[in-house]
Structure 1
């Protein structure tokens, strides 16, 4: 009667062929056509996974295999980088588990393993499959979150442009929705830009604001207080009635800053 070690050697030795059979079987179970490029890539992935199984099955201790976790992490990050979908990963898992169970069971029966040995191997295979899918999903989410954060930081950076319009005068157009992170970034980036551009008067234009709350508005108006300390005049334009009411209710003194309805009016006042 064969041993678990012989099954492991069989998996390692025949990994490419078994991977082809597994992927073809899994693909046939899907209700949609899978592109050939994805099938070819999956065969490479499962060849590597079967190699991991061959290494891990003979080990009796329930340790977390670092190599398998790294491999799964790399797969998750690659899927995220290629703009893959989490649903694609999850939806294929049940069929993958079934096919793996069937194929491994078939090999074990061909080698004449006892029912207890068969159950042991199938249990370990499913354990490693679960570890792999969990780490793949976690890595996918981490990578996606980092990507979203990086894109948001770039958007925030680009959304606080100090635009010179004539000697000593610049405008800061505030556009879209402003949250606390963006408000803090605006305050952080604007003051150095104003100093570097030798601006004497900065126009804060609120006409493009979509949403803002009192706490965030206070962060924005803090620009006025900071710039006043370094001798830069601040003018506010485009403050809608609803925004003005919100600002006043937040305890901000609008009379401390010169305001105009439009940027044109602010510029004309300087002539």
Structure 2
């Protein structure tokens, strides 16, 4: 162990020099333009990893991985925030592993370490790199998933706005693909806000809908029934043939609904 710790001290004392010599050839082979900022960021990340590697020499795999997981999570989130592709992140890992194993193994051998100690260091490098890759991917995916949820929420809000057009009359234009999450947004966010708008007549316009299935159609027409119970007169406009088929397949009785070909016709019916 004394020999391993001696190698560790050497790695820490010469971390930036070692990292610079390792990543230089890799950056030269990069298939994209490498900026000075990217070089410095790469040096910083690799120096941090090298220090964590050294700190792990006296620890178990589990303890060594704990700190690395935090570091990898931060790295994954940074990469996702920079809109880096996941494939771009993963591609260098095989080369990085070989680079670390070759360079640090050589340093260990130069310090006269036994084959057993060299193998211990090599195994720890491989283990930490694997943990780093896995946790970076997890963090990347979690960050991107949160971004997608936020964007979907914005899309839902923009694609189902309630538009007052005359006193007591408003239009709810439905746009795009109506799927289950969109319906849930309507039920949980849009529907509760309607009574506060002092609306007597609500026109739900389907002309902007691209597709809808029978299950979702059932939920849409549930909205009609709820609004009717609230004393709001509901009218449907712009129902296309494919939507009509979905309604029929859902077993919905269409005869009880007020339907019009256009929003204009629905407004005129109120006068």
Per the shorter chain, which TM-score range? over 0.9
Structural RMSD (CA): 1.5
- 1:214 deviates by 0.7
The residue that corresponds to 2:61 in the other structure is: 62
Summarize the alignment of residues 15-34 of structure 1 with structure 2, pairs less than 5 Å apart.
15-34=15-34
Within 5 Å, give how 1:132-151 maps onto structure 2: 132-151=132-151
Aligned equivalent of 2:254? 254
2:117 matched to which residue of 1?
117
Give structure 2 stretches of 5+ with no counterpart: none
Structure-2 change in CA distance of 1:53 and 1:178 (3 Å): same
Once the two structures are superposed, residues 224-252 of structure 1 have per-residue CA deviations (whole angstroms, 9 ceiling, x without a partner) of 10011110000000001221122022111
- Cα 1:133–1:258 change in 2 (3 A) is same
Give the aligned partner of residue 100 of structure 1. Answer: 100
- SS of corresponding position for 1:22: helix
Per the alignment, residue 86 of structure 1 pairs with 86
Q: Is residue 53 of structure 1 aligned with residue 53 of structure 2?
A: yes
Note the residue ranges of structure 1 that are not aligned, 5 or more in a row. Answer: none
Superposed displacement of residue 37, structure 1: 1.9
Counterpart contact for 1:174–1:208, Cα < 8 Å: yes
Cα distance in 1 between the residues matched to 2:28 and 2:82: 24
CA distance in 2, matches of 1:137, 1:37: 23
| Residue deviations 1:88-127 (CA, integer Å, cap 9, x gap) | 1111111111111111012112111122221221111111
Q: Tell me how many residue pairs correspond in the alignment.
A: 270
How high is the TM-score relative to the length of structure 2?
Answer: 0.95
Per the alignment, residue 210 of structure 1 pairs with: 210
SS in 1 for 2:170: strand
Q: TM-score, normalised by structure 1?
A: 0.95
